[in-house]
Amino acid sequence: MSDQAKLQTSSNRWGFLLRALALLPLVAAVACSTVHGQVPEFAAKPQVPVARGEQTAVFAGGCFWGVDAVFKHVKGVSSVLSGYAGGNAGTAQYETVGSGSTGHAESVKVTFDPAQVSYAQLLRIFFSVAHDPTELNRQGPDSGTQYRSAIFYVNDEQKQVAQDYIAQLDQAKVFSSRIVTEVTPLKGFYPAEQYHQNFLARNPTYPYIVFNDLPKLRALQKQFPAQYKQ
């Protein structure tokens, strides 16, 4: 199956494309409304020294195309890989994950230098511009558990920071609804098919990207200019 044929098998996104062509103004307005304002910084002071060397973090926030692109434009991030987390290796294929029954979520694996950008700063960007953490098992036009909001922590420090930060934002009522982001241990990360990697940069005029993901990059540049990289 060709890459284009694989893309056309994505019923959620392909169906959205057809609807978008008929409802351009409405879809654009809805997409823009999913970009939130900048959330407050993590209030707690770090209890451990900054780790040396590169670290990894795994986030899920709907379609991995846009989340991947956001983190690729953050200073201190050396690489971002789109993939699947939450299920097992045997079901880590796009068509299978799309059934919503595998336990997987479309995710991104972020490799970063904590001396340049902290895990808490990555979380702030995740909650501010990468997705809407109050949407349960959906994100924008995509629905299903594979599009859920989740933080897959790789150690106890990440777990504590994520839980404390969510509690802080909920207590401050930063969002009009409660944050539904799961905080769960990373049991495995499985890279997605090659045609999904770096999708936004390779397909900047694809309608789904234009309506749903380019607004996230503009929000990142506007809200976090000191941390934005071209």
Q: Which range is least confidently modeled, 8-12, 96-100, 135-139, 144-148?
A: 8-12
Q: What is the pLDDT of residue 2?
A: 47
For the annotated catalytic residues, the residue numbers are: 63
Residue whose C-alpha is closest to residue 189's, from 57, 41, 12: 57
Average pLDDT of the chain is 88
pLDDT confidence of 38, banded at 50, 70, 90? Answer: confident
Cβ within 8 Å of residue 76, ≥6 positions away: 112, 113, 114, 115, 116, 117, 227
Structure tokens at 104: 């997987």
Residue 82 contacts residue 65 (beta carbons within 8 Å): yes
Cβ within 8 Å of residue 48, ≥6 positions away: 157
Residues 184-195, mean pLDDT to the nearest whole number: 98
- Supply the pTM of this predicted model: 0.86
Q: What is the pLDDT of residue 51?
A: 66
d(CA 195, CA 126): 24
Q: What is the pLDDT of residue 26?
A: 38
Please, which residues bridge with residue 105 across strands?
A: 85
pLDDT confidence of 11, banded at 50, 70, 90? Answer: very low
Residue 223 contacts residue 37 (beta carbons within 8 Å): yes
Q: What is the pLDDT of residue 48?
A: 56
Residue whose C-alpha is closest to residue 34's, from 59, 61, 65: 61
Residues 89-97, mean pLDDT to the nearest whole number: 98
pLDDT confidence of 44, banded at 50, 70, 90? Answer: confident
Q: What is the pLDDT of residue 37?
A: 74
* Domains observed in the chain: 3-223 (3.30.1060.10)
